[in-house]
Amino acid sequence: MENLILDGRVVAGNVKDRLKERVATLVNKGVTPCLATILVGDDPSSETYVRMKGNACEKIGIKSMRIHLPKETTTEELLEKINELNADETVHGILLQHPVPSHIDERKAFEAIDIHKDVDGVTSLGYGQTAFGFGKYPSCTPAAIMEILDYYNIPVEGKHAVVIGRSPILGKPVSALLLNKNATVTTCHSRTTNLADVVKLGDIVVAAVGKPKFIQGNWIKKGAVVLDAGYNKGNIGDVDYDACLENASAITPVPGGVGPVTISMLLKHTVDAAEEMINK
């Protein structure tokens, strides 16, 4: 069967090209869009993710304000830093890198981010607005999945979308976004029974499980579109790519699928937030 590889690098390149002009317009008006990233502790993967996001900002002219706090930082100290950034008019977006050290109340810290600067879509208010259909900044991976579908003109309306995973940053918001685009959505999780049979119903399958090669090729209906949000150690997705490729009409690879588009969505939301701020 002819199948389409959904190339995240191409989609991300397209998003970034469109942003460059908007960044230039903002700079001409005296405003440099700025994303503040907060990293707490020294987890090497988190350091890499934050560095990648900061570098991606700088490449298109967004200022990257990088805040690195020691692992002993308390919840109160982190809240203080977030409030300082909330009040800083030169900062348009705030990203708190997940996970923070376990002694910190991460949810409380996420909730402290000003909704207007919640470009990573981590607050419960942002999620609620996304679910209601008027959220400005959905979490970046769900936004990336929708951007890929849109770029490749893959129809969503009336399709059965099966999402595996229900985390607040991925499974739940992507289910809401698909529903808002008139898909019929089934959201699966660790207590779903007969998972393979449920996945087989999907015209669109979104894998957001956090388990390498978890989605099997024979779970995929012939002609389904498969989007793999998974990113496991060793650059391995949540989907058994080679096996799923047999049945899928279109599929995202890992790496080079959802990941690069996720970063481009973060940049887009930061530029959106900067424009919003000057138009207030």
Is 53 part of the annotated catalytic residue set? yes
Is 280 part of the annotated catalytic residue set? no
- Does 231 engage in binding with ligand NAP (CB under 6 A)? yes
Task: Check 97, 118, 159, 172 and give the catalytic one.
Answer: 97
Looking at residues 148 to 177 of the shown chain, list those that interact with ligand NAP (rule: CB under 6 A).
164-167, 169-171
Which residue is associated with the tokens 């991976």? 141
Size of the site for ligand NAP (CB under 6 A): 26
Neighbours of 6 (CB within 10 A): 26
Task: Check 120, 228, 240, 272 and give the catalytic one.
Answer: 120
Q: Which of 111, 119, 204 is closest to 163 using CA atoms?
A: 204
Rg (CA), the chain: 19
In 184-240 the beta strands, taken as DSSP E runs, fall at: 184-188, 204-207, 225-228
Q: 135 with 127: CB under 8 angstroms?
A: yes
Q: 258 with 12: CB under 8 angstroms?
A: no
> What residues form DSSP beta bridges with 36?
65, 94
Is 120 part of the annotated catalytic residue set? yes
CA–CA gap between residue 277 and residue 154 (Å, rounded): 33
| Residue nearest ligand NAP by beta-carbon distance | 167
Q: Compare residues 30 and 234 and give the one whose CB is closer to ligand NAP.
A: 234
Residue of 191, 233, 279, 280 interacting with ligand NAP (CB under 6 A):
191
- Does 195 engage in binding with ligand NAP (CB under 6 A)? yes
- Does 200 engage in binding with ligand NAP (CB under 6 A)? no
Residues in binding site:
165-167
Active site residues: 53, 97, 120
**Which residues of the chain form contacts with ligand NAP (CB under 6 A)?**
141, 164-167, 169-171, 188-192, 195, 208-211, 229-232, 238, 258-259, 262
